């Protein structure tokens, strides 16, 4: 734990449009970020649009089964290829609605109707602008850099090892919630990385996880004399995140005694996602910035496909507790955003037990400094 009070990022970093563009260039256009699960592109030619700031990316499945990603831009004169958020390309062709240039699902230029023949025009020179795409345990990531500075492991990071005993790749999507938050994307991350707010904002969560009543995210932040230091994170008798701390669902096989006792295991995939794994289900929270003060939040609940296939899962029970926590977080994040516009507020303070916020601020500054050096 820190032993001093530190300064936050400047308030303008959370709403200034010019600074938002710098963060897009320094972070979101360079880092790997998660866009969903492989299962969401079930058929050949199915596609989804991914929006990140003013960038639009087409993600589709080819006949070979491979997922491909492209900028939503025709190579002729830059027209938008797809307007709908999702759909399916007919006859395995991506066709520009402007002049009908056609591309294969691999991005190759396949047809240019009514174009006069010309010896200086080579179709292979006008494939769609490809975007890097990779997968990890069923999650799909893209990277807008050409080429990326590092592989996907840089985003998944060492936290991935914390989830090795959960069958992430085979899990089935049980439910999805999509929220539009009226706040900067960094505010949501900062809120997640500290629990100073938990006693007042999350009363039910704080009862379920007693150490959260202390305003800390980890037992490591407690004094050695605190009786919670060596106890399991969940209250006595609780096994998972739910209203009563219980579950009617079977537990995942292969979890260690420590993982079962903890009842919750967190893994971060900066800057776009964190995962919370429980004994009976897994939840992922993904975010993408739409603008300096607007963020899309996608919350997914995953179950063993055999359990989900039985058709008797109580979705309201499965999602109710997590939905309440997300709603409470959304409310205070938007309050935080509105207050930052004060003419007098230039910086805030980071208290010692908010060390996760400080580490995140340093992560942001490092990437902005790298942008300045280029």
CATH code, domain carrying 70: 2.102.10.10
209 lies in the same domain as 320: yes
The strand pair at 294-303 and 172-181 is best described as antiparallel
> Do residues 212 and 120 both lie within one domain?
no
Residue 156 is assigned to a structural domain of this protein: no
pLDDT in tens, 228-250: 887 889 999 999 999 999 999 99
| 154: in domain | no
Task: Using CB atoms within 10 Å of the CB of residue 227, give its burial: 0 to 12 exposed, 13 to 18 middle, 19+ buried.
Answer: exposed
Q: Contact 143/132 with Cβ under 8 angstroms?
A: yes
Last residue of a domain, which of 147, 174, 197?
Answer: 147
**Do the domain assignments include residue 23?**
yes
Statement to judge: residues 115 and 187 lie in one domain: no
Over residues 212-224, mean pLDDT = 92
Residues 38 and 15 in one domain: no
* Alpha helix positions (H), the chain: 17-23, 153-156, 185-192, 198-201, 203-208, 257-262, 305-309, 315-339, 355-373
Asked whether residue 93 falls in the same domain as residue 130, the answer is yes
Is residue 157 included in any domain, yes or no? no
Same domain, 273 and 330: yes
Do residues 350 and 241 share a domain?
Answer: yes
Is the same domain home to 359 and 231?
yes
Q: Mark whether 342 and 228 lie in a shared domain.
A: yes
- At 2 the pLDDT is 54
117-167 tens-digit pLDDT? 999 999 999 999 999 999 999 999 999 999 999 999 888 988 889 999 999
| Number of domains the chain is built from | 2
Domain extent, residue 210, equals: 1-30+164-374
Instruction: Please tell me whether residues 136 and 180 are part of one structural domain.
Output: no
280 and 171 within one domain: yes
Give the pairing type, strands 67-71 and 130-136.
Answer: antiparallel
């Amino acid at each position: 734990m820190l032993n001093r009070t530190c300064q936050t990022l400047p308030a303008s970093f959370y709403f200034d449009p010019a600074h938002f563009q710098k963060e897009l260039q320094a972070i979101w256009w360079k880092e790997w970020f998660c866009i969903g699960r492989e299962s969401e592109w079930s058929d050949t030619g199915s596609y989804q649009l991914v929006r990140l700031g003013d960038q639009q990316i087409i993600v589709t499945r080819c006949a070979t089964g491979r997922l491909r990603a492209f900028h939503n831009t025709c190579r002729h004169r830059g027209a938008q290829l797809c307007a709908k958020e999702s759909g399916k390309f007919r006859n395995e062709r991506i066709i520009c609605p402007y002049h009908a240039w056609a591309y294969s699902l691999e991005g190759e230029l396949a047809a240019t109707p009514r174009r006069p023949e010309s010896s200086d025009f080579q179709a292979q020179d006008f494939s769609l602008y490809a975007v890097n795409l990779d997968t990890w345990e069923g999650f799909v990531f893209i990277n807008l850099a050409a080429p990326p500075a590092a592989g996907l492991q840089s985003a998944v990071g060492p936290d991935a090892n914390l989830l090795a005993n959960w069958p992430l790749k085979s899990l089935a999507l049980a439910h999805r919630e999509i929220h539009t938050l009226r706040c900067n994307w960094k505010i949501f991350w900062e809120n997640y990385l500290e629990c100073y707010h938990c006693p007042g904002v999350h009363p039910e969560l704080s009862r379920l996880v007693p150490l959260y009543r202390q305003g800390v995210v980890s037992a490591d932040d407690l004094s050695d004399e605190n009786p919670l230091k060596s106890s399991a994170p969940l209250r006595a008798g609780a096994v998972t995140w739910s209203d009563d701390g219980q579950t009617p669902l079977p537990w995942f096989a292969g979890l260690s005694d420590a993982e079962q006792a903890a009842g919750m295991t967190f893994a971060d995939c900066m800057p776009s996602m964190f995962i919370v794994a429980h004994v009976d289900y897994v939840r992922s929270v993904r975010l993408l910035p739409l603008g300096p003060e607007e963020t899309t939040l996608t919350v997914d609940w995953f179950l063993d496909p055999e359990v989900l296939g039985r058709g008797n899962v109580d979705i309201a029970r499965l999602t109710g507790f997590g939905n309440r926590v997300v709603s409470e977080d959304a409310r205070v994040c938007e309050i935080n955003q509105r207050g930052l516009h004060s003419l007098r507020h230039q910086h805030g303070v980071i208290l010692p037990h908010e060390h996760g916020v400080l580490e995140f601020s340093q992560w942001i500054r490092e990437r902005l400094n790298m942008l300045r050096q280029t």
